[in-house]
């Protein structure tokens, strides 16, 4: 069953809007945490914490870039998330995460779906 152009455009707009909303909420949450807790002292980080921090920064960069370059944003978010979780597992022996961290790969997946659907 073929979908109409209007339906396809509406679906694309919805996917992109949800991805951008999740990205904006995560960025706001990160900024609020930085304001409330301050910037951590990187000199006191262990090697594992440095790797995790770099991967976290890659995810945050993906949240920003996804607004303009969906594929780049998706790669940074999803790749950063996988490497972040791997470094957490190596450092602590578990890859437990809070509900908030689920929003990162969700935004990345939505950016990736949007990019894939807009390819001709």
Task: Report the predicted TM-score, pTM, of the whole model to 2 decimal places.
Answer: 0.87
Summarised one tens digit per residue, pLDDT across range 34-88 is 999 888 888 888 887 888 889 999 999 999 999 999 999 999 999 999 998 888 8
10: its two tokens? 């509406």
Give the C-alpha separation, 73 to 9, whole Å: 21
pLDDT at position 79 is 96
Nearest one of 109, 110, 48, 31 to 84, comparing CA atoms: 48
Summarised one tens digit per residue, pLDDT across range 9-45 is 888 899 999 999 999 999 999 999 999 988 888 888 8
């Amino acid at each position: 069953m073929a979908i109409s152009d209007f339906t396809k455009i509406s679906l694309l707009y919805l996917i992109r809007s949800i991805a951008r909303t999740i990205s904006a909420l995560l960025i706001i949450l990160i900024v609020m945490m930085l304001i409330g807790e301050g910037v951590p002292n990187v000199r006191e980080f262990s090697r594992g914490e440095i790797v995790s921090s770099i991967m976290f920064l890659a995810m945050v960069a993906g949240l920003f870039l996804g607004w303009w370059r969906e594929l780049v944003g998706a790669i940074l978010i999803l790749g950063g998330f996988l490497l972040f979780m791997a470094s957490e597992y190596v450092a602590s022996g578990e890859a437990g995460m809070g509900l908030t961290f689920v929003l990162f790969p969700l935004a990345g997946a939505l950016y990736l779906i949007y990019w894939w659907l807009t390819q001709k």
